[in-house]
């Protein structure tokens, strides 16, 4: 090969490498991960890796409406604000009017389709951060329609509000009145993290990126925690405004996206 051809070939290879490297870096924050790995002592029983082109409605429901959801939230939830892209489920919060609501977002559940009693439940998520933002990954007791909340129980695996640098992990139940016993952990919320619980007949343990930061004893229904010995279903949502984050929303940060790389559920082998 002539020297000039070699030089041109080398230049093309360098340009191709740099371009590929830049594209990889640009996609790094939202690219999906590989399929679920095997985990010692656990067996994978259900997962959604969000690798297709659409949301799997055999596993997920879309909740719809703008009635505040018990927290005076300001968004209207509907399916149009959820999509699958680049190996992620993407929930988008927007400033737009539907009915009497001035914001839209999405809220998804596995109710009646994928419900679980005990196990390791985890998701890899990147959340948006701004005043009035309230993304969450959580669970509710499957019997909520018959017994109501909080008797049904609630397990908040991940909640974050506003621009705080705190992760909230909280169980809710009824012990002659609403009881909650959560904990917080300082972290960088705008990056991808793996949020998880390990739940068995003795305890619920909360984890961030594999490190435990909270535990609730439920052995023999300690503290009237019988709600946590029944099946639960999974929820993912991105609320805008509400009693907890407050009603001021930073519209300059909208539209905003919550990325969910995967949701996985393991049972002890």
Q: Which of 54, 196, 192 is nearest to 123 (CA)?
A: 196
Q: Which of 181, 169, 233, 180 is nearest to 206 (CA)?
A: 169
Q: Is 154 an active-site residue?
A: yes
Q: How does strand 166-174 pair with strand 178-180?
A: antiparallel
Residue of 159, 191, 215, 226 marked active site: 159
Q: What is the 3-state secondary structure (H, E, C) of 103-164?
A: EEECEEECCCCCEECCEEEEEEEECCCCCCEEEEEEEEECCHHHHCCCCCCEEEEEECCCCC
Residue of 96, 154, 191, 215 marked active site: 154
Retrieve residue 217's tokens. Answer: 């004893």
**How far apart are the C-alpha atoms of 236 and 62, rounded to whole Å?**
10
- In a 3-state reduction of DSSP, which class is residue 228? helix
Q: Is 49 an active-site residue?
A: no
Pair 153, 227: CB distance under 8 Å: yes
43 bridge partner residues: 267
**How far apart are the C-alpha atoms of 249 and 240, rounded to whole Å?**
7
**How far apart are the C-alpha atoms of 265 and 249, rounded to whole Å?**
34
For the beta carbon of residue 223, count every other beta carbon within 10 angstroms.
13
Known catalytic residues are 154, 159
């Amino acid at each position: 090969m002539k020297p000039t051809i070699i030089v041109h070939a080398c230049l093309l290879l360098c340009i191709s490498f740099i371009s590929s490297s830049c594209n990889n870096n640009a996609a790094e924050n939202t690219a999906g991960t590989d399929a679920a790995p095997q985990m010692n002592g656990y067996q994978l029983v259900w997962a959604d890796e969000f690798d297709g082109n659409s949301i799997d409605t055999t596993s997920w429901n879309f909740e719809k409406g703008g009635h505040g959801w018990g927290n005076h939230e300001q968004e209207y939830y509907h399916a149009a604000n959820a999509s699958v892209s680049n190996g992620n489920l993407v929930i988008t919060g927007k400033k737009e009017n539907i009915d009497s609501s001035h914001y839209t977002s999405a809220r998804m559940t596995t109710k009646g389709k994928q419900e679980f009693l005990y196990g390791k439940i985890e998701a890899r998520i990147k959340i948006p951060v701004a005043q009035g933002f309230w993304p969450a990954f959580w669970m509710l007791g499957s019997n909520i329609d018959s017994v109501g909340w909080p008797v049904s129980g609630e397990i908040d695996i991940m909640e974050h509000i506003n621009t705080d640098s705190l992760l909230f992990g909280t169980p809710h139940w009824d012990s002659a009145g609403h009881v909650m016993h959560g904990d917080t952990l300082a972290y960088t919320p705008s990056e991808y993290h793996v949020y998880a619980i390990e739940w068995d007949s003795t305890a619920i343990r909360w984890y961030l990126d594999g490190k435990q930061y909270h535990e609730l004893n439920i052995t023999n229904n300690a503290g009237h925690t019988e709600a946590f010995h029944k099946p639960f279903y999974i929820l993912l949502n991105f609320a805008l405004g509400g009693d907890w984050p407050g009603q001021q929303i930073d519209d300059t940060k909208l539209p905003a996206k919550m990325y969910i790389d995967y949701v996985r559920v393991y049972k002890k082998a």
